[in-house]
Amino acid sequence: MSRTRLAQLLTFKQQQPDDPFILYALASEYLKLNEVEPALFYYNELLIGHPDYVGTYYHLAKLYEALDRKEEAIAVYEKGLAVAQRAGDGHAYSELLAAYKGAKGESIVDEDEDE
């Protein structure tokens, strides 16, 4: 099933080569197939061509963490936090912040929860 979906996404990419959702979907699909290099390629294409596509940052950083590339993960989280803040995307910001703190070994408890 995933290979069929991958083929469809590649066809969509030929039709709309600069669509950020298609690039994101390709990265995600390659990751599901445990094909890390193409997944990294498409996530990085998103960072280059669509730096405001907020969803990229969380997933790319998580992939870097899984690959034991912690410093790269932290750097991606930091960029993603800035992008989410500029976009006013509080949900993405909070997810990125929790993951960022986790990657840095900091507490992920929200200080506002006690109030």
Q: Mind listing the pLDDT tens digit of every residue in the chain (115 residues)?
A: 468 999 999 999 999 999 999 999 999 999 999 999 999 999 999 999 999 999 999 999 999 999 999 999 999 999 999 999 999 999 999 999 999 999 999 876 655 544 4
| Angstrom distance (rounded) from CA 28 to CA 69 | 19
Quote the pTM value: 0.87
pLDDT value at position 113? 46
Domains of the chain and any CATH numbers = 2-105 (1.25.40.10)
pLDDT value at position 110? 55
**SS3 state of residue 72:** helix
Q: Which two tokens stand for residue 29?
A: 């699909």
